Structure formats: structure tokens, C-alpha cells
Amino acid sequence: MTYDIVVIGAGIAGLTAAIYGRRANKKVLVLESRTYGGQIVSTKSIENYPAAMGISGFEFATKIYEQAVALGAEIKFENVMEVIDGAEKQVKTNQTTHLAKTVIIATGSKNRTMGLANEEKWLGRGISYCATCDGAFFKNKVVAVVGGGNTALGDAIYLADIAQKVYLIHRRNQFNAEAALIEQVQAKPNVTIVNNAQVVGLLGDHQLTGLDIIANGTAQQLIVDGLFVAVGRVPENEKFANVVDLDHNGYIVANETCETGTAGIFVAGDCRTKEVRQLVTAAGDAAVAATHAIKYINQL
């Protein structure tokens, strides 16, 4: 069986693309290696998507997932290994090979690590990449957040209502975050901002107990029970390098129609080259990619 559109990724971009495809009466398959919703699932409250203020990320993602399914999109939880171009695209997974007239890559991105030796060792033993997932484990304890963007400041604000004390460690002296978030974090009496600093070492035996940092050129230690890493995300596009062009950061290069350099292969969401990566731009990309995929199919 050949699908009209195979969407790789069931985040907001992928599910939105599926909705547009099904509304055009195209046969759509969505492939996802983890769970639907993408990174937004761990967000406690969405504040910057039109008409969805205050809804949780999980509820938001679930509504879109249910909408795609109700419209008839087929969703399978398989890990895509490779895409092969041809008259019919071959999408190879860890289970089988699916054929498609068009492919929309919407794989999003993954958490960026700090790049420290043995960082993985501390995952689940003091280090977390999701404050809303693991924050409750640190009630009335001392934690640190690393990062200076919206996610890091949002994590610090969230944790300030749970933990006894929160250190917000940022490598620069100015945050790259929305002004509203900066004001909120500055208003939290139990948040200590440590600028011009970076974590250089992790302390502890079986559980994280502290951090070695360099702040303003001076080495020091912070005693903490937990560390939440929010230093950005990186794309997972290496497996598609045979059919699409990647920029120097690994993002997929595409034009304004979200079509890549390979006819019939499109991209949407955080995995493509662009300046703004937000829910609303993910949905916008998906609408554009699906619309042009539909035009491509109709011209075959």
C-alpha cells in the first residue's frame, strides 16, 4: 500500500500536518518513535499560543492527537531508520518499510547536554531535563537550573514554588528570554541568579550533591540536590542526510514552501532552518508543508 503522505514525527507540527492532509482526503500515516506531542507535553502551562492560554502542554497535544485520529490519520509507533527517494518514497522503520508519494519530516529536536564527562551517569540521580516531570522530587530542596532562554526561566519559576532555593546559572550576563519571564524570575525571592557562569563539574557519589562552577572567572562550588538542564535543543536529522540538505547546525534546509531540495520531501517544525521555534510556528510550518505536499500529489 502506498500512502499519499507519510509524516515522520507526532509532535505539534507532525500532527497538524496530518490534520491538513486528512482534510484534503489524502491517505496519511504518522510515524513516531516515542510518544505523541513532542517537547510541549512537559510544559505546565501554555501562555503564548492564540486562544489556548493556561492549557497544559499534555492537554494541548492530546487534543491535536485526538483531532488527527478522528479525521482518519493512521498513527504507528515505529522508529524511522531511513528514507529512500524514488518514484515512491521508501520510509524504512525498525519494523517494516512504508511507501509514500510524499514525506513530511517533523522530528523536532532533542535536549542539548552540557557536554560534561559522565553527564549521562547522573540522569535520574540528580540531573533532569524536565522540570515539570521531576520537580516534585525536589520539594523543599536546593536545586539549580542551567540556561538563559524561555525554557530555563520557566523552569526556574516553576521550581521556585516547589524547592527551598533555586540557583539560575547562565553563561552570559543577559537572558535570551521574554521580558515577562525575566520579570517573574527576578520577583521570586528564593531564586538566585548566577550570571557569567558555567557548570564545569558534577559532585557526588551515587547521587548528585553539588556543582563545580566558574562564575566571573572564579571557581566555586554550589551545594545542590538537583540540576535541571535547559541549554537548548538539537535536531535529530542525521538519518535523513541522504535525501535532504542540512545546515552547519544539522537543521534541514528548506524554502518558504517547506519543500527540501528533494522533490516530494517536505519539512516542518523545529527540525528545519528558521529563526523562531515556537508552537505557533510549528503549526504554521505544518500547514504550509501539508498544503504544498497536497499540491505536489495532485500534480502527479
Q: Which residue has the cell 519559576?
A: 157
Q: Among 232, 214, 52, which residue's Cα sits nearest to residue 155?
A: 232
Strand, helix or coil at 171?
A: coil
Using only C-alpha atoms, the chain has a radius of gyration, in whole angstroms, of 21
The DSSP 8-state label assigned to residue 232 in this structure reads -
End-to-end Cα spacing for the chain: 17
Which grid coordinates belong to 147?
540556561
Q: Among 12, 16, 22, 24, which residue's Cα sits nearest to residue 74?
A: 22
Say how far apart CA 191 and CA 126 lie, in whole Å.
19
CA distances from 109 to 86, 95, 179 (A): 27, 23, 25
Contact assessment for residue 150 and residue 175, using Cβ atoms and an 8 Å cutoff: no
The angle formed by the CA atoms of residues 4, 7 and 10, to the nearest 5 degrees, is 145
Say how far apart CA 214 and CA 207 lie, in whole Å.
22
Q: Which residue has the cell 517544525?
A: 269
- The partner residues of 3 in beta bridges, in order of sequence, read 100
The DSSP 8-state label assigned to residue 37 in this structure reads B
Contact assessment for residue 10 and residue 33, using Cβ atoms and an 8 Å cutoff: no
Q: Which residues are catalytic?
A: 130, 133-134
Say how far apart CA 96 and CA 152 lie, in whole Å.
39
